[in-house]
Amino acid sequence: MIHLLLYIDTLSEGYVILVTGLTIVFSGLLLLTLVFKFGLPLMLYVYKIISKGPDKKVTEISPVVNHEFTGEIAAAISVAIHMYLDVQHDKENAILTIKQARKLYSPWSSKIYGAYRNRL
Amino acid sequence: MKKVILIFGILSLLIFARPVLGLISNSADATESTRVVDAESAVEGSFISEAMDGVLQFYQYTGFANAEWGNMIMILIGIIFIYLGIKFDYEPLLLIPIGAGVIIGNIPFVAGNQTGIYETGSVLNYLYFGVVKGVYPPLIFLGIGAMTDFSSLIANPKLMLLGAAAQIGVFATFLGALYLGFSLPEAGAIGIIGGADGPTAIFLSSKLANGVNILADGTTVKNLIGPIAIAAYSYMALVPVIQPPLMKLLTSKEERLIRMKPPRAVSQKEKMIFPVVALLLTTFISPSALPLLGMLFFGNLLKESGRTERLADTARTKLIDIVTILLGLTVGASTQADIFITKDSIMIFVLGAISFVIATCGGLLFAKFMNLFLKGDDKLNPLIGAAGVSAVPDSARVVHAVGLKADPQNYLLMHAMAPNVAGVIGSAIAAGIILSFLG
């Protein structure tokens, strides 16, 4: 009699765990989904504002500040960068030799210990 | 070939010699009793009988004398595991260590010499400690975290729900096990087979069905770690066999042809934030799964931080290899026939198969359900729902293969990886919930 009662109890508890467990798993992953769908972009945006300040619009950048920066200066800088990266040939690696291969010595291949040496 | 025949010949000779040697043991007794009467032949007789006794005593210690049919069956199963791993390439990294372990664990021996895995003080018992106390699973999770690329999940977070849907298998099996008369903790441990995640299954069964805990009615819980782990790993290996028929049954040809838009590029910052945020969220929801989820996301942080490449590299290669070797071997060896071959194990195997089927169906049907709300090229290919059972990365590969069969240009692997890794997270959360209810 008591055993039967216990058995029924177990099953009903099983159903409780089934429903709550599934709900929690679903809501947990749903929460994760929402966080990554909406929370993450927001966090990244906030981080950007904190570290760099809000983005400037093109109209906000005044041309007056940069009026000394002419095309000639830009050309000079780009030539310098080009020379530095691609054309520069001042320093070359002077070592041209091939890597020396280590001579492999092993008593197994040594001629001193040859099997037929002591034969008359 | 000649050598094989020779070895087999010797083995069969030894086996057939067993009854003959048994007869000799009787005659040895007879010589002993006649020794008193016949003194002259006693010297020669006693020497022969002593030598015979020594041989007999040695024979009593050999596997041939102690073999039982259970051991033989398990050894055969071990050989089949190894064969499946080598021939069909079904998760060889798991099946070969487990298969070898099954053979090692079922070599018949005389109890009391600290040989077997269940004898305190034996070497195998010390190695098995990591399984019994749930040490190995979190280490495996560390490696998995350091291996896994969560970017497809970050790009398309709604696929996380497919990982949750497949956990229906866990809870349905839990209920089925209750109906079959298992106690609550045992049923919880059996249910997690549906999570299709070997380490999680071992972790949960080592906490709930470890043969040490005492139930409310005063009886000790059964030790089901061996059967549960073997069932979980063998069904994981059989994913390429179990899933495709279900996928074809539950999806139409048109659905299988759906092409999903390629996932967006994910920035490194998002990848770095993911493990931290996911760790916080999931472990706050389900703190009992902390050893698993904590290690998983820690491993992923090692990978994505960009500063700890050495640690990540160790975690995903050497460390996980070492732990897999120990885990596979000891889980295999824990199938010692006298403890393993029971009615419970058979029921666990049946329940495990059902749970895999339910989990796969849950994922597939939920993907179709989600499609009702999605429009245009946001629609999901319902096949990827099947990857919601964890079994990383095998089920994703199966999805990819089935998708390719329907449309040779439709590459689903990247999309399937998202529910796949979500399934790992989901089953770990489910394990945590079951543990918090029943632990």
Query: Is A120 a residue whose pLDDT tops 60?
Result: no
**Which of A4, A19, A29 should one mutate to test binding to chain B, selecting the residue with the greatest count of B CBs within 10 A?**
A29
Higher-pLDDT residue of A96 and B424 is: B424
Q: Exposed, middle or buried: residue A49 (CB in 10 Å: 0-12, 13-18, 19+)?
A: exposed
User: Do B160 and A25 count as a contact with CB atoms less than 8 A apart?
Assistant: no
**Inter-residue contact B426 to B405 (CB < 8 Å):** no
Which residues, at least 6 apart from B433, have a Cβ–Cβ distance to it below 8 Å? A17, A20, A21, A24, A25, B286, B288, B289
The pLDDT assigned to B39 comes to: 53
The pLDDT assigned to B30 comes to: 46
Pull the structure tokens for residue B384: 């990827």
What is the residue type of B144? I
Does residue A8 belong to the interface with chain B, where contact is any CB pair within 8 Å?
no
The pLDDT assigned to B297 comes to: 96
In terms of residues, how long is chain A? 120
What is the residue type of A10? T
CA distance B160 to chain A (A): 6
**Cα dihedral B168, B171, B176, B178 in deg (nearest 10):** -170
Q: Measure the CA–CA gap between A72 and A70, rounded to whole angstroms.
A: 5
The pLDDT assigned to B28 comes to: 46
CA atoms within 13 A on the CB side of B313: 5
The pLDDT assigned to B249 comes to: 92
Of B157, B165, B438, the CB nearest to A36: B157
Does residue A36 belong to the interface with chain B, where contact is any CB pair within 8 Å?
yes
The pLDDT assigned to B333 comes to: 92
Which residues, at least 6 apart from A97, have a Cβ–Cβ distance to it below 8 Å? none
CA distance A11 to chain B (A): 6
Query: Is A78 a residue whose pLDDT tops 90?
Result: yes
**Inter-residue contact B285 to A28 (CB < 8 Å):** yes
Domain residue spans of chain B: 2-66, 69-106+113-119, 130-438
Does residue A31 belong to the interface with chain B, where contact is any CB pair within 8 Å?
yes
User: Do A29 and B433 count as a contact with CB atoms less than 8 A apart?
Assistant: no
Of A25, A34, A47, the CB nearest to B167: A25
Mind spelling out the 3-state secondary structure of B282-347?
Answer: HHHHCHHHHHHHHHHHHHHHHHHCCCCHHHHHHHHHHHHHHHHHHHHHHHHHCCCHHHHCCHHHHH
CA distance A22 to chain B (A): 7
Cis? peptide before B199, omega within 30° of 0: no
- The C-alpha angle B30, B32, B35, rounded to 5 degrees, equals 110
In chain B, whose CA is at the least distance from the CA of A47?
A: B269
In chain A, whose CA is at the least distance from the CA of B423?
A: A29
CA distance A10 to chain B (A): 7
- pLDDT tens digits in sequence order for chain B, 439 residues long: 677 677 777 776 666 656 555 544 444 444 444 544 455 555 667 888 999 999 998 888 888 888 889 999 999 999 999 999 999 888 888 899 999 999 999 999 888 888 888 888 899 999 999 999 999 999 999 999 999 999 989 998 999 999 999 999 999 999 999 999 898 899 999 999 988 888 999 999 999 998 888 887 778 888 899 899 999 988 888 888 999 999 999 999 888 888 888 888 888 888 999 999 999 999 999 999 999 999 999 999 999 998 999 999 999 999 999 999 999 999 999 988 888 889 999 999 999 999 999 999 999 999 999 999 988 888 889 999 999 988 888 889 999 999 999 889 888 998 999 999 999 999 999 999 999 988 7
In chain A, whose CA is at the least distance from the CA of B437?
A: A17
